[in-house]
Structure 1
Amino acid sequence: MNNSLIQILPVACVFFLSACGDMTTPDAGPPATESSITKREFNPALNGEWIGNGISYGAYRDGEGPGQGLTSKAHILEDMQIIAGRWNLIRLYGSDPQAENILEVIEENDLPIRVMQGAWLDKHKTDAENDEQIRLAIEFANRFPDIIVAVNVGNEIFVDWSYHRIDDMDGVIEQIRQVRASIQQPVTVSDDYNFWNKPHAKKIANEVDFICLHAYAFWNNKTLDEAMAWTESIYRDIQSRHPDHKVAYCETGWPTSRVYGDGSYEGGLIGKAGEEQQEVFFDQYDPWVNQNQVISFYFSSFDENWKGGFDGANPMDKAEKHWGLYKSDRTPKQALR
């Protein structure tokens, strides 16, 4: 759902498939030999204290975006100082110069922040570009071993509605194995619940140290009143399907804006969006995470106005731009005031 490299399909196509479930499966190839990995524990801590209640981070500000240069280190430092006031764990989505700057800012300023580092894989990229993501993820994990606490290989690369979906599951397994063999940190794959609830997901689960789960009540056409119960039920369902794995909630949240009645999938959803609605969801979700010590990366820290495209009658109202607990100008929304 988020990354400086993501490309957004028309939401009518994308999220219809999300709500209705898998229509086909990735090419799992021939039956794989069940992995015999010894799982590495993912239990993020700082100075002996659990810090598993984390948040996703994208650095781009208004007027910035993919292909438009890097966010300044001064702006990244400002963001990290804001985040460190409440969270000690962040998720980064790609291994690239932007991520390197973020990691350097954390290191140079001795900030109390730990990172789940991502490698962004995309079927529209060349093999060399995808290989570079893997190479840099390994390099960063070994260069910043006290900062990076886990590595995520691929984001929403198997669920059917993903624009950058990868069909070669065995190829991804080789990349997972390459990363695990090259670093000490636990390794995972992040994907929607409509992948992890399918039988063929077991093949990936056999290769990872923990499950990274995405689930959005809003996109799955739930009302705010239903949202938290649905969110918890999805978590419990995936736990039951993968009983030998720790499950982390690596994306969930509630938007503060959306379009209505424009004929798109988003326009027909029943959930209302706004700061009051986000506050209600966050005030239910955040204590649940802490009370149950569910590792979580809430989506997201800051609004990112480059996302979601600029088509339609009211493009700046699109939900994809408005998942942050802070506005794009870095002022807090109602949930944090």
Structure 2
Amino acid sequence: MVDPDASEWLKKQQRASRKTRLIVSTAGILVIAAVLAGVIYTLIHKGTTGGAVGSSDNGNDGNNAGKGANIPSNPDGPYYTNDGKPVSLSITPDPRLHKSFYGVNYGPILALYPWCTNTLGDTIEDLKILSQLTNRLRLYGMDCNMANYTLLAIELLKLNMTVVPTIWVDGNETTYTRQYNDFFNNLDQHGISRIEGVSVGNEALFRKQVTPSDLYSRIADVKSKIQAKYPNSKIPVFTSDIGSNVDQAFIAGTDVVFANVHPYFGGVPVSTGANWTFEFFHNFDSGPAAAAGKPAVISEIGWPTNGASDNASIASVDNLQTFLDTYVCVANQKQIKYYYFESFDTPWKAAYFTTLEGSWGLFNSDRSFKPNIQLPNCQVTAGGITSM
């Protein structure tokens, strides 16, 4: 095993963390991103290799294309993707897909604030695929109807799925207030039966955009308001951060230890990536959490297919296959709870940051299979987040 020294882990995360800039929130970024908007849109809609997955060729006519803010009052549609393709509510099982993942991280590709060109139809098409991989999704924010469309798609498709929404924390109080209010509006609209838990921020401590005491205060506030609105609910409230940031204060301030653990950023070869992950997670996260009587979940785990290497860690499609083969089914056998990172490649990250940043998807950005990838086929044995 490679010794997962916390300081080295932190250095690697500082060089290559994928999510430190997930939400575009500062004025400078908005200006630059506006220049890139045309490039991003082109990249997103450019065809890639691999067979199409879960695509729909039929549907009804209507006017739900475009911005994605208009939700049809008719529950039967019509629904359209951003590029005007009609969407049906039927799911055709794909024999290449297996419900082998405890959970999957889902960031709709076009849900980029403030443009928000995603539609409910796009989300429906995404969930036709993801529902054949898992019963659990984790989201990264509330903007652009991300949680609303996901919950609507689950309802419309009649899926047995739960969601972990995130109230994004980035140091901007306006962003937090907007997302905080949107989260509770979603509970009012959809209820709580499909909410597996709620994350207040992702890697906000790592980015040093909030103090620990402020973050734990926000977690307590969200938990208190949920309990006031739904007295009998047991929705856990927590945050997610890099695994080496878990300490006693983190454990005490959260209902669940939600830890991002990436062997790629540990600089290990893919052949030892799974074992490195299991040992790191136990030593830094699940072990200390269990000692305090708290459950622990790997909130991110994955392997990129393109981009720069990190010491012995090589980004490639072949290595993604190796990691899927060595991690997923073994984690299921060990009853480890994890959310795989991530659903689809994200071209806007590749265009704005690096190729590596946008290349963590199980699928290409157009929902097609990556070349020669075979998804694992095994049973998920762990229960929900709150079950020990």
Per the normalisation by structure 1, the TM-score is 0.74
Whichever residue aligns with residue 265 of structure 2, its letter is W
CA displacement 1:18-41 (0-9 Å, x = unmatched): xxxxxxxxxxxxxxxxxxxxxxxx
Task: Describe the shift of the 1:245–1:204 C-alpha distance in structure 2 as closer, same or farther (beyond 3 A).
Answer: same
**Percent of pairs identical after alignment?**
24
- Residue 336 of structure 1 corresponds to 374
- Given the superposition, is the C-alpha separation of residues 141 and 203 from structure 1 closer, same or farther in structure 2, using an over 3 Å criterion? farther
The equivalent residue for 1:320 is 357
Match of 1:239, SS state, is: helix
Aligned to 2:263: 217
Do 1:52 and 1:295's aligned partners in 2 also have CA atoms closer than 8 Å? no
Mapping for residues 285-296 of structure 1, pairs under 5 Å: 285-296=327-338
**Correspondence 1:252 to 2:308:** no
Q: 1:5 to 1:140 in 2, by over 3 A?
A: same
Matched AA of 1:246 = P
Q: Distance in 1 between matches of 2:336 and 2:182?
A: 28
1:128 positional shift: 2.8
1:271 and 2:271 aligned = no
Match of residue 225 from structure 2: 182
TM value normalised by structure 2 = 0.65
Aligned to 1:112: 160
The amino acid that maps onto 2:236 is P
**Distance across 1 between alignment mates of 2:273 and 2:109:** 29
Q: Distance in 1 between matches of 2:212 and 2:365?
A: 36
Give the secondary structure class of the aligned counterpart of 1:140. Answer: helix
Which residue matches 1:15?
none
Equivalence map 1:195-206=2 (5 Å): 195-196=245-246, 201-206=247-252
> Shift of the alpha carbon at 1:4?
5.0
1:145 to 168, 184, 192: 192
Q: Is 2:126 the counterpart of 1:70?
A: no
The CA deviation at 1:335 is 3.4
Gaps of 5+ in 1: 9-49, 260-265
Question: 2:121 aligned with 1:83, yes or no?
Answer: no
Equivalent positions of 1:20-169 (< 5 A) are: 53-60=102-109, 65-96=112-143, 97-123=145-171, 125=172, 127-142=173-188, 143-159=190-206, 162=207, 165-169=208-212
Alpha-carbon separation, structure 1, partners of 2:24 and 2:294? 28
Q: Secondary structure at the match of 2:224?
A: helix
Query: What SS does the aligned partner of 2:197 have?
Result: strand
**Whole-angstrom distance in 1 between the partners of 2:193 and 2:255:** 19
Where 1:245 maps in the other structure, the secondary structure is coil
Partner of 2:44: none
Q: Distance in 1 between the 2:274 and 2:243 partners?
A: 15
CA displacement, residues 92-149 of structure 1 (integer Å, 9 cap, x when unaligned): 01122232222222223322221011111002x2x23212222322333453312111
Number of residues paired by the alignment?
A: 272
Does the CA contact (< 8 Å) of 1:325 and 1:336 recur in 2? no
Return closer, same or farther for 1:188/1:326 CA change in 2, 3 Å cut-off. same
